[in-house]
Amino acid sequence: MTVARALRGSYDVAVVGAGPAGLAAAALCARAGLTCVLFDDQPNPGGQIYRAVTNSPFDRGTVLGSDYWRGETLVCAALGGGAHYFSGASVWGLLRENEIAVSLGGSTRQIRATRIILATGSIERPFPIHGWTLPGVMTAGAAQILLKSSALVPTGRTLLAGCGPLLWLLAWQYLNAGVRLHAILDTAPAANWRRALRHAAGFVASPYLAKGLRLMFEVRREVRVVPGVVEIAAEGGGRIEAVIYRTARGRSERLAADMLLLHQGVVPNVNLAMSANIAHRWSEEQLCWVPCVDSYGSTSVPHIAVAGDGAGIAGAEAAEARGRLAAVATIRALKAEFSVGELERAARQSLDRYQRGRAFLDCLYQPALNFRRPRGDTLVCRCEEVTARQVLETAALGCPGPNQMKAFLRCGMGACQGRFCGLTVTELMAEARELPCAEIGYYRLRPPVKPITLAEIATLPADGAAVKAVARE
């Protein structure tokens, strides 16, 4: 499917990310006759939710579940519909007016697009426990990627820990594949149930209810689930050897372990949007930064929209609908003669349906304070190896925010560019300075939002003005 078409210099629309939102947006824009380029940094289309759907090692069996195969239809609609798709294409900057810098096979190209739709999806929420950097400790999302794309499953003593729908889905998929799980350490606080019940009426009408109950029932029947876990630590020399946990009731246990798969929800992948100066807000419901968008995904930057989980977590089906809505607004702006009224109505109907009960899930699986705000020598910044104690002590010195903290600790200045420490730093500083997270703020993000080499920047074609700007007379 990856057609290495020559990249044009300009397009009507550029879509970043080939998950459900990006695929749906690109398909619709192309159908309306707009020239559309679809960039995705992964080797195959589908995003993480439909990862490897076009080259799956599985037949349409029962391991992954039927929802997964929906991705095929989406991919076909986008790629068959005329959008120019580039895999392995890492967009690292939204530069001056409408310019996009994209890294393709080791060299960078700059193109222009009249409109840009960001569909950069979500990333795993940081899960900073003692030992989370040991080899053998991975995210549940990572383990699911190995399953989807390479049919790899864990052997030996495997523990899952955390909370959220993905954790249960992965456990269920492993059972389907015949994998034995040692235990699931459930970290969802019991108090979450009371808060979630206020939103129960919405969730009763959610399409996710029946599916979720079935998954949890089947998993609980087969696997030991330890509820009310409030502390987890991974131990080992060169790799994980054991997991020690403690429950709210004070029970603790040491379990020998070969793999520990962590998950406490996903959060929007905001780096590209933030680097383009799009206004963001702190979401108290989802405890993360989300771009400020209207009901079409339009942002504070006029020509850039954000669609899908990158604009707030709502799931794959909602992402698809939000991708269509971003495309609807784009088509109205660029090709008013193409009628989108009916498409918009259908997209809104689908969005309503899949957003029902989201408030219930947000409350039920809100990760516990203990697992968001680590203490002592637990690493906060994996790249620069900065501990929670260092962050708290620096905040106590009067360091006002995450950007000033960089100068003290290099926290957030490593290769991941804050993606696995930013939320933790915001929350720890908010706590230390007794301020809301919204006031503490986030790292100031700038392009390149992915590390690239100077050699690669040097591959950029230079026009006369660029040469004149730096060359001596």
The burial of 340, by beta-carbon neighbours within 10 Å (0-12 exposed, 13-18 middle, 19 or more buried), is given as buried
List 107, 133, 247, 355, residue binding another protein (CB under 8 A): 133
- Region from 20-28, 140-148, 282-290, 308-316 binding another protein, contact rule CB under 8 A: 140-148
List 14, 36, 37, 52, residue binding another protein (CB under 8 A): 52
- Region from 37-45, 227-235, 272-280, 401-409 binding another protein, contact rule CB under 8 A: 37-45
List 420, 427, 441, 443, residue binding another protein (CB under 8 A): 420
Identify residues 72-131 at the interface with another protein (CB under 8 A).
Answer: 88, 123-124
x/- contact string, 339-378, with another protein (CB under 8 A)? ----------------------------------------
List 46, 154, 323, 374, residue binding another protein (CB under 8 A): 154
- How many CB atoms neighbour CB 125 within 10 A? 25
- Does position 43 interact with another protein (CB under 8 A)? The reply is yes
Q: Tokens 């689908």: give the residue.
A: 350
Contacts 24+ apart (CB under 8 A), 460-466: 460/108, 460/109, 460/110
- Residue spans of beta strands (DSSP E) within 178-321: 183-186, 225-226, 229-235, 242-247, 252-256, 259-264, 266-268, 280-283, 288-291, 304-306
Residue pair 266/249 in contact by the 8 Å Cβ criterion: no
> Considering beta carbons, is residue 357 or 422 the nearer one to another protein?
422
List 35, 44, 206, 378, residue binding another protein (CB under 8 A): 44
x/- contact string, 174-203, with another protein (CB under 8 A)? ---x--------------------------
142 vs 136: CA distance, rounded Å: 11
List 259, 290, 380, 413, residue binding another protein (CB under 8 A): 259
Identify residues 224-243 at the interface with another protein (CB under 8 A).
Answer: 238-239
Q: Tokens 């706590």: give the residue.
A: 431
Residues in Cβ contact with 258 at an 8 Å cutoff, skipping those fewer than 6 apart: 136, 154, 155, 156, 157, 158, 240
Type of residue numbered 380: V
167 vs 354: CA distance, rounded Å: 20
- Region from 43-51, 312-320, 401-409, 458-466 binding another protein, contact rule CB under 8 A: 43-51
The least CB distance from residue 240 to another protein, in Å, is 8
- Does position 411 interact with another protein (CB under 8 A)? The reply is no
- Does position 153 interact with another protein (CB under 8 A)? The reply is yes
List 13, 38, 138, 171, residue binding another protein (CB under 8 A): 138
- Does position 167 interact with another protein (CB under 8 A)? The reply is no
List 213, 279, 415, 466, residue binding another protein (CB under 8 A): 415
- Does position 48 interact with another protein (CB under 8 A)? The reply is yes
The least CB distance from residue 17 to another protein, in Å, is 12
> Considering beta carbons, is residue 19 or 297 the nearer one to another protein?
19
12 vs 44: CA distance, rounded Å: 23
- How many CB atoms neighbour CB 409 within 10 A? 21
Residue pair 164/365 in contact by the 8 Å Cβ criterion: yes
Q: At what angle do helices 402-409 and 422-433 cross, to 10 degrees?
A: 100
Q: How many residues does the chain have?
A: 473
Pairing of strands 379-381, 304-306: unpaired
Pairing of strands 259-264, 137-139: parallel
Residues in contact with another protein by CB under 8 A are 41-44, 48, 52, 55, 57, 63, 88, 123-124, 133-139, 141-142, 145-146, 149-156, 177, 238-239, 258-259, 269, 382-385, 414-416, 419-420, 451
